[in-house]
């Protein structure tokens, strides 16, 4: 019912990820709208957002939402807010996130290599192909790619994983303390508006009741 009449091609899908047809402003407005309507405490919502931002600094591409939701569940944050928080990592911010995480990780581990995002993206694509080839080798179809996967793990994945912890924690803490007062203020304003509507309806009913009594 809600599927596209004409599926997007790979090129169109990539373009939508970088430059959405509705525009990034509409995307951000939608995410903010969803956050505002989450029925939970400001602490849990902000904690969920922090989990999403933290996970964006990890090399688990394609699994960020799952990892963030699991982390939010463990920390008792809002799970849906964590999924929304992962949108901090997007085609615009990922080159910067990858560069920072890898530079920190290589400084901590002493590993070498480049932090060019194009090279990083090709390395992840090559690793995905290596996983597929190795999986097929278990069933007797072609050679495995353990050497390729080992090189990817030690040269790129591990430094990225270790290096993403520090900036991820910083980003998560900032996201928590920036979003919590905003969520609290919105919920307070929304609660006050609701109470005013209830009071207005009650007053209207009372006026009608008074009029009915006078006519009787």
Q: DSSP string spanning 142-166?
A: S---HHHHHHHIIIIIHHHHHHTHH
What is the structure's pLDDT at 125? 82
In which domain, by residue range, is 74 found?
Answer: 43-180
Residue 212 lies in a domain: no
Residue 159 lies in a domain: yes
How confident is the model over 115-136, as a mean pLDDT? 80
Q: Is 144 exposed, middle or buried (0-12, 13-18, 19+ CB in 10 A)?
A: middle
- Note whether 96 and 203 are within 8 A (CB): no
Average pLDDT of the chain is 81
Is the whole model's pTM more than 0.85, yes or no? Answer: no
Reported as a pLDDT band with limits 50, 70 and 90, residue 32 is low
If one counts the domains in the chain, the total is 1
Reported as a pLDDT band with limits 50, 70 and 90, residue 11 is very low
- In whole angstroms, what separates CA 200 from the centre of its chain? 40
pLDDT digits (tens, 9 = 90+) for 136-172: 787 777 777 788 888 888 888 999 999 999 999 999 9
How confident is the model over 100-107, as a mean pLDDT? 93
Lowest mean pLDDT of 71-75, 97-101, 120-124, name the range. 120-124
Residue 169 lies in a domain: yes
Q: DSSP letter at 7? A: P
What is the structure's pLDDT at 3? 45
Residue 29 lies in a domain: no
User: Between these two residues, 28 and 153, which has the higher pLDDT value?
Assistant: 153
How confident is the model over 169-178, as a mean pLDDT? 97
d(CA 207, CA 30): 40
Residue 34 lies in a domain: no
What is the structure's pLDDT at 5? 53
Reported as a pLDDT band with limits 50, 70 and 90, residue 196 is confident
Name the strand (E) or helix (H) holding 89: none
Residue 102 lies in a domain: yes
Residue 31 lies in a domain: no
What is the structure's pLDDT at 112? 77
Question: Does the pLDDT of residue 194 top 60, yes or no?
Answer: yes
Lookup result for tokens 């030690």: 154
């Amino acid at each position: 019912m809600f599927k596209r009449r004409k599926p997007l091609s790979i090129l169109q899908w990539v373009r939508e990820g970088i430059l959405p047809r509705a525009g990034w402003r509409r995307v951000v407005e939608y995410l903010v709208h969803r956050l505002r309507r989450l029925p939970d405490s400001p602490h849990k919502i902000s904690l969920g957002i922090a989990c999403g931002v933290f996970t964006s600094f990890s090399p688990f591409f394609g699994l960020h939402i799952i990892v963030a939701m699991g982390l939010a569940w463990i920390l008792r944050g809002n799970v849906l807010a964590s999924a929304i928080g992962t949108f901090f990592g997007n085609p615009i911010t990922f080159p910067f996130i990858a560069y920072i995480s890898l530079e920190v990780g290589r400084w901590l581990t002493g590993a070498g290599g480049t932090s060019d995002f194009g090279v990083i993206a090709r390395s992840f694509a090559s690793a995905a192909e290596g996983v597929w080839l190795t999986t097929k080798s278990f069933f007797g179809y072609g050679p495995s790619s353990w050497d390729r996967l080992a090189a990817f793990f030690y040269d790129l994945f591990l430094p990225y994983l270790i290096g993403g912890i520090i900036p991820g924690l910083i980003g998560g803490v900032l996201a928590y303390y920036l979003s919590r007062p905003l969520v609290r203020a919105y919920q307070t304003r929304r609660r006050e508006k609701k109470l005013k509507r209830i009071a207005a309806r009650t007053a209207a009913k009372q006026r009608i009741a008074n009029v009915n009594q006078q006519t009787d």
